[in-house]
Each structure stands twice: as C-alpha cells, then as structure tokens.
Amino acid sequence: MTPENSAVERLNKHLALQLGVSRRQADNLIADGVVQVNGVAATLGARFTTGDSITVKGEPLAADTVYQYLAFHKPIGYVCSRRQQGESPTIYDLIPAQYHHLKPVGRLDRDSSGIILLSNDGNFAFTMTHPKFAKTKLYNVRLDHDLTPLHQQMISDHGVQLEDGTSTLQLERMNDDDRTEWIVTMHEGRNRQIRRTFGSLGYTVTALHRTNFGNYALGDIKPGEFAVIDIQ
C-alpha cells in the first residue's frame, strides 16, 4: 500500500524532466525496456512514488525533479510554440535540444521581441503569469504616428475598453521630442493587449520589445541567445 505522504508521479514526465528529453522519447525508453523501478522493468503509463529506485540503462536516476529556468531573447519572426506555424520558425529552433522540455512562461507574438522565460516549474509559471500576482512587464513600443495627449491620458488614466475588458497601461515617453516611441508598463498579460489597446484608437504598433518581466531583465542577452537564471 502506498503511504499517504508519498507523492505519486507519472514516470514518463519524471524521465523527461530529469533527462531533458520529450515525453515521447521517455516513453520510447520505457518501451525499450531500459527503465526499471525498484528493479522491475517499467511499462508504458507507469507511475512511481517517493522513495522508489529508478534506473535508466542501469544508471540511477535522481528521485527529485531538477527545475530549470532560462531567460531567452526572442527575435522577431519566431513563435513561442513547439510546432512551426506556417513559414514562421519556433523559438525551439534557437534553443539547444537539452532545454526543449522547458515551456514558455509568458509569450510574445511573432512580430514582437524581447525577454521570454522558460521553465519546467509549474508553480513558477503560475506565479509569473496569473493575474492575481500582477507581475510588472516593461515594453519599448513604437507607433506608426504620434500619440495625442488626449489618447495618452485615456490609456493611462481611464483605460480603453476592449472586447475582453478595460485595458489600462502606464505610458512614459522615451524621448521628449518624440511621441511615437513609448515605454509601456503593464501588470496583465492578455493576448496582444498592447497592440489591441493602441489599435482601438487608430494606431498601429510597428515595434514591440519586452525588456523586463517581473524581477527579470533582458540585460545584455543577444537576440536568439539565453541565460540560465536563478528564481528570485
């Protein structure tokens, strides 16, 4: 009988996290008969409990999940998906295979660039993206024409009504002589919210670049490159 305080986990998920492979590859290892739990060959769909001994090709596997965290500089033209969308490549084409099991934490659309976090830590992803935690995100935004003072006030003070609710953004001019480039601060993460907010007032966002996500900043990470980070 499994003790009440023992955690039951899916074996293929655990293998994927520990070995840096996909769950399908983990299933292939199990099907090949090279994975054993407590000395017995595992079967597809198997689960294990805390304290079980797991080996792969005779080598012991750590019992505890090793969580990983990356800060990635997403270039324009790439999608935050495992599958290519049309002719657009994915961010996983730029990330080493050993990190392909990590999932994006907060996405950017194909035409946007900047910081993307990736992790296999579900709790971290939840606290970074759920609205109740109100993580601050900073963007550099360029518009196709000058933002009028009235529209600036509407967006910052009153918000703009979108189909999924009111959108309020904090706006700061990047240059006193230019009203097309803005630093946008937001605490939400609705789909294409910044583009839709400006679009509702007749503006087109021609460039959108995220520099900060919560406590994490892009810093000097170059486009297409990443840095391993510690959670803060």
Q: Are 69 and 121 in contact (CB under 8 A)?
A: yes
Sequential DSSP letters for 14-41: HHHHHHT--HHHHHHHHHTT-EEETTEE
State yes or no: is 111 an active-site residue: no
Q: Are 33 and 46 in contact (CB under 8 A)?
A: no
Bridge partner list, 133: none
Residue 76 DSSP symbol = T
- Tokens linked to 156: 């910052």
Return the residue matching tokens 């609205």.
131
The span from the CA of 15 to the CA of 62, in Å, is 10
Catalytic residue among 52, 64, 109, 144: 109
Q: Are 110 and 195 in contact (CB under 8 A)?
A: no
Three-class SS of residue 172?
strand
Q: For 14-25, b where at least 16 C-beta lie within 10 A, e where not — what string?
A: bbbbbebbbeeb
Bridge partner list, 105: 117
Residue 187 DSSP symbol = S
Return the residue matching tokens 């659309």.
109
- Tokens linked to 151: 């529209």
Catalytic residues: 109
